[in-house]
Amino acid sequence: MPCDLLSLNKSELNNEFKEMNLPKFRINQIYSWLHQKLVSDYSEMTNIPVQLRQQLSEQYPLLVPRRVRAAQSSIDGTVKFLYSLYDGDYVESVLMKYKYGYTVCVSSQVGCKMGCAFCASTLGGFKRHLTAGEMLEQVYLAQKYAGERISHIVLMGMGEPLDNAENVFKFIEMVSNEDGLNISMRSISLSTSGVVPGIKLLLDRRYPLTLSVSLHAPNDEIRNRIMPVNKKYPVSELMEICREYSLITSRRISFEYAMINGLNDSDKAARELGLMLKGMLCHVNLIPINKVNGSPFSPSPQARVKSFGDILSKYGISVTVRRKLGSDIDASCGQLRRKVKQEEGIE
C-alpha cells in the first residue's frame, strides 16, 4: 500500500515532509485542504505552487475512495453510498437526515470477522481493516454530497470498530480535532459486538463518546447462536466491563437489541434482559432487523416489539425503538456491497 497521506495527523505530516524541506505554513495549508476544505485532488489546492502539487501527486497519490453508487430512499431521504477503494474492493456508508442535522454511518473494515448470523457484512467474509484516512473520507464525501456540515458520526457500518482499534482511535482523534472537521466526540457513537479487550482500551482513553454495545440476547444460549464473539467474551464478562465503563465514565451505554422473530423477542427474554440491566446507567435501543437475502431470520412483529419494550420499562430501563431508515435501498450494513459483488460474479 502506498503512503496514505490522508491518515497522517499534522505532526506525522510534518515528519513525512521533512526531506522535502517544506515550510511549516505550507504543510499547514496542505493539511487544511485535505481535512477542512475536503479536496480530493491536489489540483484543487490553489494556493500551493503548481510544481509542488505535481510532485505531491507523483509521490503521494491520494487514496480517496471513488463513489460507485448513491442510492437515495424515496421514503425518508436516507442515502446509501458504495465506494470503490484503491485496491478495488468496496465499502459502504450511510447518510441520514434528522431534525438536528446530518449523521453519517461509517464503516471500519472491508467485510467483518465477527460472523453475526443476521448481518450482511459478514456474508462476504473479512478482507482488511480500513485506514483512518478511508474512514475520514466517508465523512468528507458525505458532507460534500449533502452540502451541509455533518454533525454526528456513528461507527456502526461494516466491520467491528474495536477489531481495528488503532485506526479507529486515530480516526476519532482526527475528525474531532480543531485542525479537521472539529466534530465533538460527544457527537460520535461507537458500536461494538462485545470485544471486551477493545472496550477496556476505549475506557483507558476516556473519550467522551457514546458506547453502543450490540447485545441482541439476554443470555449465552441465545447469543452463542447468533454472535460467535460471545463464545470468546460471554455475556457475564461483557456485562462486567460495561458496568465498569459506565461507572468510571459516568456515560450512559446504549445496548442495541435486534428484534428477531421467534428467537430473542419473547416476554421471558425481556424479563431476563431487564433483570440483567437493572440499575445500570444504560439505554436499550430495540431494532426491527432488515430482511437480508441468504439469512433465515425475519423481523419481529410490531406488537411483539412493543410488548418487549413495555416489559423493559417496568424494570426502570430507558427504551426506544429505532426508526427504520432506508428499507427500500438496502441500507443495512453490507447489503449493497454484497449485491454489487454478486452482479460482478465475484461472490
Using an 8 Å Cβ cutoff, are 216 and 264 in contact?
yes
Told to judge if 92 belongs to the known catalytic residues of this protein, a careful annotator would answer yes
Using an 8 Å Cβ cutoff, are 192 and 213 in contact?
yes
Say if residue 2 is exposed, middle or buried (CB neighbours under 10 Å; 0-12, 13-18, 19+). exposed
Q: Is 264 left (phi over 0), alpha (psi -120 to 50) or beta?
A: alpha
- What is the full DSSP assignment across 175-198? HHSTTTT---GGGEEEEES--HHH
| β partners of residue 69 | 82
341 sits in which H/E element: helix 335-343
C-alpha cell at 210: 457514546
- Residue of 105, 112, 116, 333 with catalytic role: 333
- Which residue in 188, 20, 1, 5 sits closest to 103, CA to CA? 188
Q: How far apart are CA 58 and CA 73, in angstroms?
A: 39
| β partners of residue 331 | none
Using an 8 Å Cβ cutoff, are 78 and 98 in contact?
no
| β partners of residue 155 | 190
- Residue of 19, 92, 256, 343 with catalytic role: 92
Strands 150-155 and 188-192: parallel
Length of the chain counted residue by residue: 347
Strands 282-288 and 253-259: parallel
**Residues annotated as catalytic (active site), given as ranges:** 92, 333
